[in-house]
């Protein structure tokens, strides 16, 4: 059965549309279970019922006509109880309802399995048979397994609107407007035109574009095929004495596949029909991969890999031939399968309005950069048909994580108004730039910024930051194709230190690993967030660590505003080892090489649970502590910060996190060690108020949030915040904490800051 299941999944994954998916499911399940009927009922929210959506065995005319609520029929019962129902004699069951239009009277026994995604019952998969016999255990288990697989596909169809179209046979009432959802990762409204970022030679990431010059596209296809054949001949030649004749013959097979008129012919037809060469080539190759992988013969099904490889090679040549510097629309909305920092740096800042990434989550690197630069960002938009959106007009609602394609004029106007409101609020906040960040009862809080790119550094300077609490040194490392030399690093660091001098700049040593892989230093691990990350990598590679420390310290000569921060510290030995190397570098530079500068302040990040319980021990070894709430939340709650599947469990106000944060503040105070927070919680106005109430006096955040946080803190009293925190720490769950904090901080003058434009947008969408 596993084999049957694998084949069904394969077919489903490559089906042309959702109708085809349902038809495949009902046909294949019916045949595997060897029964009379297989049907799928899907939830229709408009009617709050499950509607017969596909069948193989019942009368086709009944599709779309048979409805059952959770109160009705056996299908309704399966949905209501969210568990399988296996009946030898369906008619004898009190919930049996007869639907004459289906022609089901001859089918006696019934087996139904709910289709559940993230706890929602999306539908019911049913098999029926004429013989009066209970389906056996393996058949029941098979149906449950197929339902579980189907759930993801249905959830996708639901998100893309295809499910709604399947059920109600009409598109949204709003013309062509489509709405997709993702994870809101940087607040704000972005209105603009999509520019698609695709990975080179990725067949699934080719934007669907039309040809502007068909003969030219045909010519380029021909050239790309010829170049690929030349490459293959070259490789064959070079391996002549290393491979035997059968192995070498493989290259001839490859070459002849490229000469095959049927493959080329299909592509040519598509191009002549108006598609550009890259789109046509990838479409045909994907179809061939699908055909091969579905073949029963293992030798033939493995040929799918060869076709994919050839497809990529030709696509690579086509992309080289057709490479044009991207033209960034004035209002660019960047979309990619997995956006990363370098994509962002390519776009002129004044053009970029929003970012959407299919993969990733709120705390992925690019999302953090989006927040730092005030670019509305949506991550984990897994259902968006991103390759089809190049050049499409979009609204990105970074408050609610909504992406609205081809908006209606009314919707566009609502969002334009919200955008204007946002702009005027930002202007109003500018007046706070030079005012101190202090509570009403005159307690001073220092607001620092997190930086990484040159651009966010520039933005920070305009917002009245009092220092840099976290300079992520790995970000400039991402933009290169090798490790920067000591001198290159020194220049980068010098620029950062000079821009802020005499204000302090906290430079974190290289924090790679986890979701931050350098292209030239790949780390492949099963569990990257629990693996070789941060200080673990740099201690294992002193040649990288020492160069970085030397560059930082040399950069600080004459400025003396450097402090160094060590990431991912989980035990005192790591701190001790790092301190040995730091002292060694300092001694070499000052005693042996004659540089003169102050020994930098050294800090440890508190971002793994083990560190929370060793504050006193760490405090004896370093000058300050800095809490990384992004990772601390991830590790404390065991929720991958980058995984959109579990993003809903990433609770930034989880009571355990509150207890940990409070404990850190109290223990650091008792040890006489300064402690700040540089995770994203510090940049959330409500989170910042909570942290201040706990006793944190320095908060470091994306510069885009700095003035908002200042505005909120200036309206609050520390004594009140202390009491609010006391109560919040006694609450049971994250939502209770958030609700309580929101309601107790509520003041008319803060309303806009605590409930930004998104709340209003939500109303307009409903």
Stretch that binds Mg ion, among 36-44, 146-154, 606-614, 722-730 (CB under 5 A): 606-614
608: closest CA among 628, 579, 578?
A: 628
- Between the alpha carbon of residue 96 and those of residues 23, 78, 93, 99, 564, the distances in Å are 25, 12, 5, 10, 71
Q: Does residue 217 sit in helix, strand or coil?
A: helix
User: In angstroms, what is the minimal distance from the CB of 534 to Mg ion?
Assistant: 7
Looking at the Cβ atoms of 108 and 472, the one nearer to ligand PEP is 472
Site string for Mg ion, 17-36 (x = CB under 5 A): --------------------
**What is the C-alpha to C-alpha distance for residues 186 and 179, in angstroms, rounded to an integer?**
18
Nearest in space to 504 (alpha carbons), one of 373, 579, 600: 600
As beta bridge partners, residue 47 has: none
The entry of ligand PEP, Mg ion, none that residue 678 binds, CB within 5 to 8 Å by partner kind: ligand PEP
Minimum CB separation from Mg ion for residue 678, in Å?
9
Closest CB to Mg ion: residue number? 631
Looking at the Cβ atoms of 267 and 470, the one nearer to ligand PEP is 470
* C-alpha separations of 640 from 79, 627, 633 in Å: 31, 18, 9
CB closer to ligand PEP, 569 vs 673: 569
Answer for the pair 32, 1: CB distance below 8 angstroms, yes or no. yes
Min CB(259)–Mg ion separation in Å: 53
Give the residue numbers annotated as catalytic, written as ranges.
365, 678
Residue 628 as a binder of Mg ion (CB under 5 A): the answer is yes
Closest CB to ligand PEP among 198 and 633?
633
Residue 452 interacts with Mg ion (CB under 5 A): yes or no: no
Taking CB within 5 to 8 Å according to partner kind, which of ligand PEP, Mg ion, none is near residue 569?
none
Residue 362 is given by DSSP the state T
Residues near ligand PEP (CB under 6 A): 368, 470, 472, 511, 607, 628-631, 678-679
Shortest Cβ distance from residue 508 to Mg ion (Å)?
Answer: 9
Beta carbons of 319 and 278 less than 8 angstroms apart = yes
Choice between 377 and 630, CB closer to ligand PEP: 630
Residue 574 interface partner, choices Mg ion, ligand PEP, none, CB cut-off 5-8 Å depending on type: none
> Cα–Cα distance between 58 and 60 in angstroms, integer?
6
- By CB under 5 A, which span of 3-11, 517-525, 607-615, 638-646 interacts with Mg ion? 607-615
Is 631 a binding residue for Mg ion by CB under 5 A? The answer is: yes
Residues 6 or more apart whose Cβ sits within 8 Å of residue 142: 1, 4, 5, 29, 32, 33
Rounded-to-integer distance, Cα 429 and Cα 442, Å: 20
Query: Contact between 513 and Mg ion (CB under 5 A)?
Result: no
- Contacts from 439-443 at CB under 8 Å and sequence distance 24+? 439/692, 439/713, 439/714, 439/716, 439/717, 439/718, 439/721, 440/714, 440/715, 440/716, 440/717, 441/717, 441/718, 441/719, 443/692, 443/697, 443/718
Strand partners, 678: none
Which residue number places its CB atom closest to ligand PEP? 628
Shortest distance in whole angstroms from residue 451 CB to ligand PEP: 12
Residue 85: count other Cβ atoms within 10 Å of its Cβ: 20
Q: Which are the contacts of 560, defined by CB distance < 8 A and separation ≥ 6?
A: 597, 598
Tell me how far apart the alpha carbons of residues 189 and 376 are, in angstroms, rounded to a whole number. 6
Nearer residue to Mg ion within complex by CB, 177 or 515: 515
Q: Do residues 544 and 518 make contact, with C-beta atoms less than 8 angstroms apart?
A: no
Q: How near is the Cβ of 637 to Mg ion at its closest, in Å?
A: 14
Which residue lies nearer to ligand PEP by CB, 335 or 368? 368
CB of 87 to ligand PEP, least distance (A): 53
Q: Which does 344 bind (CB under 5 to 8 A by kind): ligand PEP, Mg ion, none?
A: none
DSSP string spanning 590-649? IIIS----PPPEEEEEE-SHHHHTTHHHHHTT-SEEEE-HHHHHHHHHT--TT-GGGGGG
Residue 139 interacting entry, from Mg ion, ligand PEP, none, C-beta within 5 to 8 Å by type:
none
Count of H helices and E strands in the chain? 29, 22
Of 683 and 758, which CB lies nearer to ligand PEP in the complex structure?
683
CB 42 within 8 A of CB 78: no
Q: What phi, psi does 183 have (nearest 5°)?
A: -95, 120
Instruction: Output the six-digit token pair for 79.
Output: 């949905």
CB of 363 to ligand PEP, least distance (A): 6
Min dist CB 636 to ligand PEP, Å, is 12
Nearer to ligand PEP by Cβ, of 682 and 737: the residue is 682
Question: 467 touches which of ligand PEP, Mg ion, none (CB within 5 to 8 A by kind)?
Answer: none
Binding site for Mg ion (CB under 5 A): 607, 628, 631
């Amino acid at each position: 059965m596993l084999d049957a299941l694998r084949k069904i999944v394969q077919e489903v994954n490559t089906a042309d549309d959702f109708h085809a998916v349902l038809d495949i499911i009902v046909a294949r399940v019916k045949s595997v279970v060897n029964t009379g009927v297989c049907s799928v009922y899907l939830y229709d929210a408009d009617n709050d019922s499950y509607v017969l959506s596909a069948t193989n065995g019942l009368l086709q005319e009944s599709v779309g006509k048979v409805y059952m609520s959770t109160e009705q029929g056996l299908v309704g019962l399966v949905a209501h109880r969210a568990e399988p129902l296996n009946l030898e004699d369906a008619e004898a069951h009190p919930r049996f309802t007869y639907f004459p239009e289906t022609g089901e009277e001859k089918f006696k026994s019934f087996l139904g399995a709910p289709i559940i995604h993230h706890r929602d019952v999306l539908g019911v998969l049913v098999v029926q048979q004429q013989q009066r016999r209970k389906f056996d255990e393996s058949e029941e288990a098979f149906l449950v397994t197929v339902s579980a697989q189907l759930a993801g596909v249905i959830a996708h169809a639901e998100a893309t609107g295809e499910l709604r179209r399947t059920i109600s046979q009409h598109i949204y009432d709003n013309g062509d407007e489509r709405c997709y959802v993702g994870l809101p990762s940087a607040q704000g409204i972005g209105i603009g035109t999509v520019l698609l970022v695709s990975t080179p030679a990725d067949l699934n990431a080719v934007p669907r574009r039309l040809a502007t010059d068909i003969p030219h596209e045909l010519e380029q296809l021909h050239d790309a095929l010829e170049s690929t054949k030349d490459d293959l001949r070259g490789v064959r030649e070079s391996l002549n004495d290393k491979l035997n004749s059968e192995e070498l013959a493989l290259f001839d097979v490859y070459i002849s596949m490229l000469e095959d008129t049927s493959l080329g012919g299909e592509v040519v037809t598509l191009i002549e029909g108006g598609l550009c060469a890259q789109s046509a080539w990838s479409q045909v190759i994907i179809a061939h991969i699908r055909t091969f992988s579905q073949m029963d013969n293992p030798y033939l099904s493995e040929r799918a890999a060869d076709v994919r490889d050839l497809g990529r090679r030709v696509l690579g040549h086509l992309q080289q031939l057709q490479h044009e510097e991207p033209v960034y629309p004035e209002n660019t909305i960047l979309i990619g399968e997995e956006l990363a920092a370098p994509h962002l740096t390519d776009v002129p800042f004044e053009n970029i309005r929003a970012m959407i990434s299919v993969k990733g989550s709120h705390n992925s690197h690019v999302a953090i950069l989006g927040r730092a630069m005030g670019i509305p960002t949506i991550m984990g938009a897994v259902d968006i048909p991103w390759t089809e959106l190049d050049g499409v007009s979009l609204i990105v609602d970074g408050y609610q994580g909504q992406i609205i394609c081809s908006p209606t004029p009314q919707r566009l106007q609502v969002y334009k108004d919200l955008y204007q409101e946002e702009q005027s609020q930002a202007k109003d906040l500018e007046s706070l730039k030079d005012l101190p960040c202090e509570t009403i009862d005159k307690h001073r809080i220092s607001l620092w910024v997190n930086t990484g790119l040159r651009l966010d550094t520039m933005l920070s300077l305009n917002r009245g930051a009092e220092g840099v609490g976290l300079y992520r040194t790995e970000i400039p490392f991402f933009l290169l194709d090798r490790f920067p030399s000591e001198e290159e690093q020194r220049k980068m660091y010098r620029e950062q230190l000079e821009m802020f001098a005499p204000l302090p700049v906290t430079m974190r040593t290289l924090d790679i690993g986890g979701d931050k892989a350098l292209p030239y230093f790949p780390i492949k691990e099963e569990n990257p967030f629990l693996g070789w990350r941060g200080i673990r990598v740099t201690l294992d590679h002193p040649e990288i660590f020492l160069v970085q420390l030397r560059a930082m310290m040399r950069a600080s000569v004459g400025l003396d505003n450097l402090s160094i921060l060590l990431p991912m510290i989980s035990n005192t030995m790591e701190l001790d080892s790092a301190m040995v190397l730091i002292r060694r570098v300092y001694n070499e530079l000052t005693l042996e090489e004659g540089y003169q500068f102050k020994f930098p302040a050294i800090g440890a990040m508190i971002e793994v649970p083990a560190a929370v319980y060793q504050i006193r021990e760490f405090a004896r070894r370093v000058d300050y502590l800095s809490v990384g709430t992004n990772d601390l939340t991830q590790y404390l709650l065991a929720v991958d910060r980058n995984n959109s599947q579990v993003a809903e469990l990433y609770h930034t106000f989880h009571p355990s996190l509150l207890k940990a944060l409070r404990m850190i503040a109290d223990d650091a105070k008792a040890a006489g060690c300064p402690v700040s927070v540089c995770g994203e919680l510090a940049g959330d106005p409500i989170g910042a108020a909570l942290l201040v109430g706990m006793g944190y006096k320095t908060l470091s955040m994306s510069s885009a949030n700095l003035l908002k946080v200042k505005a909120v803190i200036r309206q609050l009293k520390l004594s009140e915040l202390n009491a609010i925190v006391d109560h919040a720490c006694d609450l049971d769950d994250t939502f209770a904490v958030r609700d309580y904090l929101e309601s107790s901080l509520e003041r008319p003058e803060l309303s806009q800051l605590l409930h930004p434009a998104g709340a209003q947008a939500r109303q307009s969408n409903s």
